[in-house]
């Protein structure tokens, strides 16, 4: 399915709701303890790993993962592996998925910096982006979209928005040092912060 196409999304949602009946029959018929289970509800929205990403003042890339990048404007550090999934059903796509899955992961204590600039859209003013649509290439979206990464960008976007409102500034001109200081006060892991 294509998460940027509403027809494709609707088809996938309908297919998923049909599929759930099959799960119910399987659980009831084959798994001990589930004979009397009842399907109570299904998700109201379809979960999808990848859709649109904003192009920001900086684009986080796989090179940043490899180099354990440190940024002056980092608002957190993250270590989740590149959890890239197959984009279609072809054998090549699945091979790529498994190869990448094994390849890009850190040893204990290693991490990459998450720069403030990936929250700031290049061409849209007065907007901050958090979560799985931050500015990153496909490989890095596969790391930073995993929920602790969304907490990092969400917390930073919230703090930056509050400070921008207070100071009457736009996100692109935010006082990043003030954002970092406030994040550190609230317990964010910022080991490379100067001062």
Ligand X SMILES: Cc1cc2nc3c(=O)[nH]c(=O)nc-3n(C[C@H](O)[C@H](O)[C@H](O)COP(=O)(O)OP(=O)(O)OC[C@H]3O[C@@H](n4cnc5c(N)ncnc54)[C@H](O)[C@@H]3O)c2cc1C
Q: Note the residues at the interface with ligand X (CB under 6 A).
A: 45, 47-49, 131-132, 145-147, 150
Smallest separation (angstroms) from ligand X to the CB of 81? 12
Smallest separation (angstroms) from ligand X to the CB of 141? 9
- Compute the CA torsion angle 140, 142, 145, 149 (nearest 10 deg): -60
* Paired tokens of 1: 């399915």
Helix spans in 69-137 (H): 91-103
Decide whether 13 or 150 has the Cβ nearer to ligand X. 150
Decide whether 124 or 177 has the Cβ nearer to ligand X. 124
Sign of the dihedral through C-alpha 86, 58, 195, 188: negative
Beta bridge partners of 115: 74
Decide whether 49 or 181 has the Cβ nearer to ligand X. 49
Sign of the dihedral through C-alpha 9, 11, 12, 13: positive
Closest CA to 82 of 40, 18, 138, 158: 138
**For 166, phi and psi rounded to 5 degrees?**
-65, -40
Dist. CA 98–CA 107, nearest whole Å? 19
Decide whether 115 or 149 has the Cβ nearer to ligand X. 149
Smallest separation (angstroms) from ligand X to the CB of 125? 20
Smallest separation (angstroms) from ligand X to the CB of 144? 9
Beta bridge partners of 60: 136
Decide whether 136 or 174 has the Cβ nearer to ligand X. 136
The residue whose Cβ lies closest to ligand X is 131
Smallest separation (angstroms) from ligand X to the CB of 45? 5
Smallest separation (angstroms) from ligand X to the CB of 167? 26
Decide whether 127 or 178 has the Cβ nearer to ligand X. 127
Name, in order, each residue with C-beta under 8 angstroms of 107's C-beta and a sequence gap of 6 or more: none
């Amino acid at each position: 399915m294509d998460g940027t196409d509403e027809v494709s999304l609707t088809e996938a949602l309908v297919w998923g709701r049909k599929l759930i009946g099959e799960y119910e029959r399987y659980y009831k018929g084959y798994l001990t303890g589930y004979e009397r289970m009842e399907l109570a509800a299904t998700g109201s929205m379809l979960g999808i790993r990848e859709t649109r990403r904003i192009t920001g003042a900086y684009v986080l890339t796989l090179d940043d993962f490899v180099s354990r990048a440190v940024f002056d404007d980092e608002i957190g550090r993250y270590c989740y592996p590149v959890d890239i999934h197959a984009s279609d059903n072809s054998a090549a796509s699945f091979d790529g998925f498994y190869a990448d899955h094994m390849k890009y992961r850190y040893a204990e204590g290693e991490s990459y910096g998450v720069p403030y600039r990936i929250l700031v859209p290049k061409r849209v003013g007065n907007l901050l982006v958090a979560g799985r649509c931050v500015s990153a290439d496909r490989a890095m979206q596969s790391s930073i979209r995993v929920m602790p990464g969304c907490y990092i960008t969400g917390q930073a976007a919230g703090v930056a928005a509050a400070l921008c409102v207070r100071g009457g500034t736009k996100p692109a001109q935010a006082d990043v040092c003030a954002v970092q200081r406030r994040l550190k006060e609230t317990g964010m892991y910022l080991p490379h912060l100067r001062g």
